[in-house]
Structure 1
Amino acid sequence: MKHIVSYLAPYRASIALEMVIKILGTLAELLLPWMLQVILDDLVPEKRLNAILLWGGGMVVCAAAGLVFNIIANRMSTGISRQVTRQIRFDLFRRVLRLSGAQVDEFTTPSLISRLTSDTYHVHEMIDRMQRMAVRAPIMLLGGVAMTLFLDPVLACVLVLPLPLMVAGVWALSRQGIRLYTATQTAVDGMVRRAQESMAGIRVIQALSKIDYETGRFDQANRETAQREYRAGLLMNATNPLINAILNAGLTGVVVVGALRVNAGASQPGAIIAFLSYFTMILNALMMVSRIFVMLSKGIASGRRVAEVLQAPDDMLVSPIPASPDHAHIAFEGVSFSYGKAEKDLYNISFSLQAGQTLGIIGPTGCGKSTLLRLLLRAYDPDAGRILIHGRNLLSIPSQELHKMFGVVFQNDFLFDGTLTDNIDFGRDLERDALCRAAQNAQAEFISTRPGGLDGRIAARGADLSGGQKQRVLLARAMAGSPEILILDDSSSALDYKTDAALRRALAHEFSGVTKVIVAQRVSAIRHADCILVLDEGSVIGQGRHEELMQSCPAYRAIAEAQMGEVD
């Protein structure tokens, strides 16, 4: 939580000025009942009309000052909280993008989404309300008590006696509320996960007539979220009845004691009226305090969740490891890896590629093909072995330098709402000729037939493109940056054989000096690779060229025969 508070440091001067304005506005309001008491008890009995008008004008000035000062202070608090939350959200998003694969797995994507949205909203509300109420409420509370002591110490004591009991009750409820609101935000993570999964697979859900099933799953997550929110709200809403009960008991005592004192001549009616006005102020202040505790409970719970991400350690550190004399462009040496650190997802993977060579990776679903690519991109670090590029251990290469080496098309990649130019360029400020050349090499001729060509817009996720068109736009994006290593993770599965063959010819001729790593389900996509890895359950069961594997690897031969009818 201290990390979140540090974001307020640049606004210290503005917050101090806002507090001064808020204090002045609140003090102006505190003068009103006292001035009314002077008019009723001192001026009206003596029929001093001019003095009454003068003091009445003073009340109007104080009321106007309180209104104007509070409006100015509230506008300042809104601006400060908006800017602080904007910076927190920006830093949070930037930190999320820098999280390692293991850290994303630990936090989970739905949880990161809810921390970026609902949690930052709660932090915003806490910062805003604390600036508005945390100054006004204590001054009004303490000032009201002080003024009641000035007017009638005996009645003030009657009112003040229940306050410690009330403060203890609100404090206990708020501590429990923080725990419940933390549990509520965890339930929100689950609901976001359900919604995200259903939206990503909406076409499959519709095709398999599973709308009612998915609706039921979401309803279950929604109910759990609502129940936790209800329990937290029920607990925190108990603060208002608690405050009202205690204060009403005090008010009853004040009315009874006040009537007795007026009857005995120890107090005056104007003082009682002013006293009741101050009591209303104290009541409003305490209601504000109760709302502050509700906001604090939500804000602290959400602030801790946000701070967990902001303060997550960078576990992809760069180590000063000396380079190896090995001249291979890419080398895996005895690499093993496990997501759960129990069973190995990859075991003892070794191979090397020279610059310009092509590595093909094939195997059944779940055998570790995509995991191998993630290790090469250093989304995860291997548990054993080492990965080298130009003889340099991946652990010694800064991430920006490393990732500039690659052009990547993942199995489940994304396109965003914008022009085709924006999607292919991807913020790299590439020349127009490079974009056109990349689109041509990716066999994306369809772009020229679309309205606007490269400057034509596409929908989010490429919803208005076919599967093959999306893959070709993604291929163009990977090729446009002139990478030295091109990673293609099942990136031509939606292409017809003619287009696939044309793509492979373009890769061979236009990217002959680029080292290529191709994950494929089709043997035809990798049969001309310089080295082919056949994976099964995380281990290499075959390695070599196509002709060698047809002789030495039964699993590869079975795949080739099933797809291409080869028997030699």
Structure 2
Amino acid sequence: MGTVLGYLWPHGRRVACGVTVKFTAALLELVLPLLLERIVDVSVPAGDLAAIWLCGGLMAALAFGAAFCNITANRMAARVSMEVTRTLRGDLYSRTQRLSCAQMDRFSTSSLVSRLTNDTYNVHQMFDKVQRGGIRAPMLVLGGLVLTFLLEPALAAVQLAVSLLTFLTIWQVTRRGIPRYAAAQAAGDTVVRIIRENASGVRVVKALACQGRERQRFDEANETSRRAEETAGCVMAAANPLTDLLLNTGLVLVVLAGALRVNAGQMPPGQIVAFLSYFTLIQTATLGIAKVFIRISKGAASARRIEEILLEPEDQPLRPSEAVSEAELGMDGVSFSYLGVERDLADVSFTLRKGETLGILGPTGSGKSTLAALLMRLYDAGEGIVWVGGRDVSSVPGEERRFGVVFQNEALLNDSVYENISFLRNIPREDVIAAAKTAQAWEFIERLPEGLDSRLDIRGANLSGGQRQRLLAARALAGRPSVLVLDSADSALDYATAAALRAAIRRDCPGVTLVVISERVASLRSADRILVLEEGRVTAQGTHEELLEHCVRYRRIAELQRGVLL
């Protein structure tokens, strides 16, 4: 909570100014019942019409002054809250972008989306309500109690007892409500996750006629979220009725005791009117405090979730290393596990010189993409050293690791073709065109209505699978990488287009070190070194000819793809 509250510090002067204005408005409101008492007890019995008009005019001026101060302070509070939340959301987004893949896996994408949206909104509401009601309401309660003690201590004691019971009630309700709001937000994360899964996989859901199952899954998560919100809401909803009961009971006691004292001649009737006015102010202010506490309950739970991200330590710092290697790319005894239980890669070693090609072949789940992720330091190896540019990858700053990569599943922006290839890097159009030609994408881009300026649908839905893959390849090539990773980048391409793509990369990108992950032996046969992976282990490595001679699995795959055994 302290980290989030620290975002108010740069706006301290404006907050202090708003507090001062709110304080002034509260003082003006507290003076009004005193003037009303004077009219009832002094001016009316004396028949002094001028004094009545004077006090009435002064009350109107104070009321307008209080309204003006409250409006001004509320506008200041809204602006401060908006700017603080904007900064907080920006820092949260920036920190989210710097999370390692392991941290992203731990928090989950749906939870991060919820923290960036719902949680920042709750924090915004907390800051706003605290500035608006967190100053005025306590001031009215405390000021009203002080003035009523000065007017009539006996009746003020009733007000004080009711106020203490009210605060105790609010505190107890809030203490039980905060944990329930945290549980409700966690349930909301699940709803967001299911929505994202259905939005991204809508074609699969429809193709497999799974709408009913997905609707049921969403309904179950939605019902869980509803119950969690309802539980939290029911707890917090007890605050207003209980405070109403206490305050109205106190109001009855004040009226009854005041009437008895007036009837006994122990106090003037104007004080009863003043007491009723103060009690109304205190009642309204106490209910306002209850609402502020509800906002604080939600905001505090959200602030803790936000701080989990902001305070998450960097788990991939640069580690200075004197170790060097002649290899441009390679691994030395590398092992890795996603969950820390069973190794997903075990004792992987290989070396690759600059400009050479590494091919990786293996069944699904054998660790091919994991190996590529370690080369790019998306994850840190548990054991061993990963070499990039002849240095330990953990000692190489991110901007020096000039990788170009085409993943199996990569998103396209709802933007122009140019922006999808440039990808916010401001790459000159001529370089984008050159990359598109190398990626065999320029032919279909030219046929689009506006060429490079044609707009793509979300996730490139208005393109075929092969066209999307070629655009992704153009994106990877446009940055002129020193290492190019193609992770099943030809799975949606026909053999002729895939062969043309490989030939164009070798022709237009001399000196680039290439890592090709593919199920096609034809895509790997020209590689300088091919790794055959099984269950996270390198069972064989060598050139295409060497593996055909010595590796039974590789030879069988090659024969199957050539149709020898079909």
Report TM bin, short chain.
over 0.9
Structure 2 partner of 1:555: 553
Residue deviations 1:9-33, cap 9 Å, x none?
A: 1000000011111111121111112
Matched, 1:154 2:154: yes
Equivalenced residue count is 564
Matched, 1:413 2:413: no
Tell me, in whole angstroms, the C-alpha distance in 1 between the residues paired with 2:188 and 2:39: 56
Code of the aligned partner of 1:10: P
Matched, 1:62 2:25: no
Tell me, in whole angstroms, the C-alpha distance in 2 between the residues paired with 1:109 and 1:430: 29
Code of the aligned partner of 1:373: A
Structure 2 partner of 1:47: 47
Structure 2 partner of 1:18: 18
Offset at residue 406 of structure 1 (A): 0.5
Residue deviations 1:198-244, cap 9 Å, x none?
A: 21211111011110100000111101011011011100111112211
- More displaced 10-residue stretch of structure 1: 331-340 or 144-153: 144-153
Code of the aligned partner of 1:407: G
Tell me, in whole angstroms, the C-alpha distance in 1 between the residues paired with 2:515 and 2:417: 25
Structure 2 partner of 1:293: 293
Structure 1 partner of 2:484: 486
Tell me, in whole angstroms, the C-alpha distance in 1 between the residues paired with 2:446 and 2:301: 52
Code of the aligned partner of 2:450: G
Residue deviations 1:296-342, cap 9 Å, x none?
A: 11100000000000000001011111141x22100100100001111
Query: RMSD of the TM alignment (CA)?
Result: 1.2
Code of the aligned partner of 2:144: G
Structure 2 partner of 1:392: 391
Code of the aligned partner of 1:24: T
Structure 2 partner of 1:513: 511
Offset at residue 159 of structure 1 (A): 1.6
Structure 1 partner of 2:357: 358
Structure 2 partner of 1:344: 343
Code of the aligned partner of 2:376: L
How many percent identity over aligned positions? Answer: 48
Tell me, in whole angstroms, the C-alpha distance in 1 between the residues paired with 2:36 and 2:540: 95
Find runs of 4+ consecutive structure 1 residues off by over 6 angstroms: none
Tell me, in whole angstroms, the C-alpha distance in 2 between the residues paired with 1:85 and 1:6: 12
Tell me, in whole angstroms, the C-alpha distance in 2 between the residues paired with 1:432 and 1:61: 66
Matched, 1:433 2:430: yes
- More displaced 10-residue stretch of structure 1: 461-470 or 302-311: 461-470
Q: What is the TM-score normalised by the length of structure 2?
A: 0.98
After superposition, residues 204-353 of structure 1 pair within 5 angstroms as 204-324=204-324, 326-353=325-352
Secondary structure of the 1:486 match is strand
Structure 1 partner of 2:94: 94
Unaligned runs of 5+ residues in structure 2 are none
Secondary structure of the 1:378 match is coil
Unaligned runs of 5+ residues in structure 1 are none
Structure 1 partner of 2:530: 532
Secondary structure of the 2:555 match is helix
Code of the aligned partner of 1:397: V
Tell me, in whole angstroms, the C-alpha distance in 1 between the residues paired with 2:556 and 2:145: 88
Tell me, in whole angstroms, the C-alpha distance in 1 between the residues paired with 2:98 and 2:547: 40
Offset at residue 566 of structure 1 (A): 5.3
Residue deviations 1:46-94, cap 9 Å, x none?
A: 1111111111111111111111111111111111111111111111111
- More displaced 10-residue stretch of structure 1: 230-239 or 522-531: 522-531
Residue deviations 1:336-358, cap 9 Å, x none?
A: 00011111000111111111111
Tell me, in whole angstroms, the C-alpha distance in 1 between the residues paired with 2:399 and 2:72: 46
Secondary structure of the 1:336 match is strand
Structure 1 partner of 2:464: 466
Residue deviations 1:363-417, cap 9 Å, x none?
A: 1111111111111111111111101122210111122322xx1111111111111
Offset at residue 503 of structure 1 (A): 0.5
Secondary structure of the 1:381 match is coil
Tell me, in whole angstroms, the C-alpha distance in 1 between the residues paired with 2:249 and 2:25: 30
Tell me, in whole angstroms, the C-alpha distance in 2 between the residues paired with 1:356 and 1:553: 25
Secondary structure of the 2:546 match is helix
Q: What is the TM-score normalised by the length of structure 1?
A: 0.98
- More displaced 10-residue stretch of structure 1: 160-169 or 131-140: 160-169
Structure 2 partner of 1:177: 177
Code of the aligned partner of 1:132: R
Matched, 1:424 2:414: no
Structure 2 partner of 1:202: 202
Code of the aligned partner of 1:425: S
- More displaced 10-residue stretch of structure 1: 306-315 or 415-424: 415-424
Residue deviations 1:449-482, cap 9 Å, x none?
A: 1122112211221121111111111111100111
Secondary structure of the 2:84 match is helix
Tell me, in whole angstroms, the C-alpha distance in 1 between the residues paired with 2:147 and 2:467: 76
Structure 2 partner of 1:504: 502
Code of the aligned partner of 1:346: L
Tell me, in whole angstroms, the C-alpha distance in 2 between the residues paired with 1:62 and 1:163: 26
Secondary structure of the 1:388 match is strand
Structure 1 partner of 2:114: 114
